[in-house]
Amino acid sequence: MIFRYPNGKAYEPKEQARKKQQPSFTYSNRGMSLEEDLNETNKYYLEHKLAVIHKKPTPVQIVNVDYPRRSAAVIKEAYFKQSSTTDYNGIYRAKYIDFEAKETKNKTSFPLQNFHAHQIEHMQNVVKQGGVCFVILSAFNEFYYVKAEDLFIFWQRQQNGGRKSITIEEINKVGYKIPIGYQARIDYLKIIDKLYF
């Protein structure tokens, strides 16, 4: 099955791209990706009635289906209907939560090419409306919570012809290390509590 972006470029799932580039384990040696860890964390939050935060589905338009028989329809080709915004959204303590999750194996900086202009624009709109918007970065063997407002500064610097990445020193200065937990693996609500409540 082939999924395509609105511009016609073929979609390669993050999991497939990751398998091509690296071994099948993450730095934490738990065999979990950032997305899986966040999904488990959000499931824990929901089950314990702490927050309601979900991964956003990506709308897809199916254009080619093979029907060998009715019970075995196979999608052969599909397109993303629109560019995605951020990965997760929901509500926590009456505050709208919206965030993106990104990973890098780079050892000295976080490349801004991991973000797209439409994602930055979406995050700016969320901030303007008073939502809690941030990025969770998996980098340098740590998880970081970076406020969207801080990300905008680095994005603007790049747009003005400056550095195309965020250095490890800059992330350590503006970011908040997220503690790794057993049940809430990436317990980012602790950071939100500290910053907003």
DSSP letter assigned to residue 130: T
Query: Is 100 marked within a binding site?
Result: yes
Query: Is 85 marked within a binding site?
Result: yes
Query: Is 98 marked within a binding site?
Result: no
37 residue type, one letter: D
- Classify burial at 84, counting beta carbons within 10 Å of its beta carbon; exposed 0-12, middle 13-18, buried 19 or more: middle
Contact indicator for 63, 3 with CB cutoff of 8 Å: no
Quick count: other Cβ atoms within 10 Å of Cβ 113?
Answer: 9
Contact indicator for 86, 116 with CB cutoff of 8 Å: no
Residue ranges at the known binding site for Mg(2+): 85, 87, 100, 119
